[in-house]
Chains A and B, each alone.
Chain A
Amino acid sequence: MNSNQAQGHDFRFKGKIKDYEKTLIKFFIDIGKNKDAPSKVQEILGYLMIHNKLTQSNLKELTGYSTGTISSTLSNLIKLGVVKKERIAMSNKYQYLLTGNLPQIIERTSEVSSEHFTIISKFLDDKLNELDEFRNKEGYINLHTQINVLLGGFNKVLKIAYSMSETFSEE
């Protein structure tokens, strides 16, 4: 087996199955337009959803994107808790897979989002303190107010994310 290939899987579909695969990728890209997600992110997610496990080399062949683009996109998706990487046995290569099914991914991204919101909130609190030095300066009041709007908004957005996660868990 080619060590660049994800274990036990032939990722090259043909004929009518290939056509269906392309249609599904269009579906993922279309959803992505409303997530402000670039099509490269959606394509990579789509192929991982279809194939379960893929190497960077597989993804390069499927998408036509450069190694750098694929690598950085996967890295961002790993930080978001959507994708994980695992070593292919008996090789020094890695394959990538989604962290679970959709409800699990939604739950995981809610948890990860919560962690990131905490870090961002700390950063914004620090910026509020820094801003206080320029209390009498133009723009201070508005920026101070809007940073607090953002902080309040993040909390509410997190509740929405958890609520979506619960909706899926209940079904």
Chain B
Amino acid sequence: MYKELDDKDTYDLNVRKIEKEIVDYLIQSPLYSTRNEITSRILIYIILRKEITQNILKDLTGYSSGKISQELNNLVDSGMIIRKKIEGIRKKVYTFESVEKISTTRVKNIITVMLKWENELGKMKNEMENKRSKLETMNGYNNIMNVIDFYLPAIKIYEKFAESLE
């Protein structure tokens, strides 16, 4: 099976054309249109190929080796994809566990960032409350407080949701 992964794309041109049409269609769909195009394109190809090397990704996407390498490292570090070595082939291959695992990992990573900000937002709120008499007459005081007052309890809800994903 893996001898097919000899770093050159062996797909029939017509099959590859259909594959590209799928990738292009998904990228322009509203679901992906607010996301980074390069990351999304690479991720979709990984899903459609199941296992793929960096060189084949370069061939399919036209992105530079440097850019692809950077994106793959980010995706591996984030936990969304897996890098593995195959015996007999010097190159590493990139794969994934499941589409839903990609999605839940993304959600958990977002929630981790929110939890990191919880302290910072809490400090901002305390500072604004302590200096209320000075600050509350300034334009935007209520705007800022409303956002913080919304997010601080929301972060707790997100945390609970992340636990339910485990």
Which residues of A pack against B, CB within 8 Å?
Answer: 10, 12-18, 20-21, 23-24, 27, 30-31, 33-38, 41, 49-52, 73, 76-77, 79-80, 101-102, 112-113, 116-117, 119-120, 123-124, 127, 130-131, 133-134, 137-140, 142-143, 145-147, 149-150, 152-154, 156-157, 160, 163-164, 167-168, 171
Contact = CB atoms under 8 A, between A and B. Distances in A.
Interface in B127-157: 128, 131, 135, 138-141, 143-144, 147-148, 150-151, 153-154, 157
B113 A34 contact: yes
A121 to B, nearest CB: 11
Interface of B: 10-12, 14-16, 18-19, 21-22, 25-26, 29-31, 33-36, 39-40, 47-50, 78, 98-100, 102-104, 106-107, 109-110, 112-114, 116-117, 120-121, 124, 128, 131, 135, 138-141, 143-144, 147-148, 150-151, 153-154, 157, 160-161, 164-165
A156 to B, nearest CB: 4
Contacts of B148: 24
Contact of A20 (B16, B128, B157): B128
Nearest to B165: A160
A131 B15 contact: yes
B75 to A, nearest CB: 9
A14 B139 contact: yes
Contacts, number: 177
B154 A102 contact: yes
Contacts of A134: 12, 14-15, 18
B30 A112 contact: yes
A140 B17 CA distance: 12
Contacts of B19: 139, 143
Given A36-B35, A146-B47, A156-B99, A167 B157 contact: yes
B131 to A, nearest CB: 8
B12 A167 contact: no
B157 to A, nearest CB: 5
A38 B98 CA distance: 24
A34, A160, A163 interface centre (most CB from chain B within 10 Å) = A34
A24, A41, A117, A167 interface centre (most CB from chain B within 10 Å) = A24
A49 B147 contact: yes
A26 to B, nearest CB: 9
Contacts of A123: 22, 25
16 contacts: A13-B143, A16-B135, A17-B139, A17-B140, A20-B144, A34-B78, A37-B36, A52-B143, A139-B10, A143-B11, A146-B47, A146-B50, A156-B99, A163-B161, A164-B107, A168-B154
B125 to A, nearest CB: 10
A136 B51 CA distance: 21
Contacts of A77: 34
A34 B36 CA distance: 11
Given A49-B147, A50-B147, A79-B33, A36 B39 contact: yes
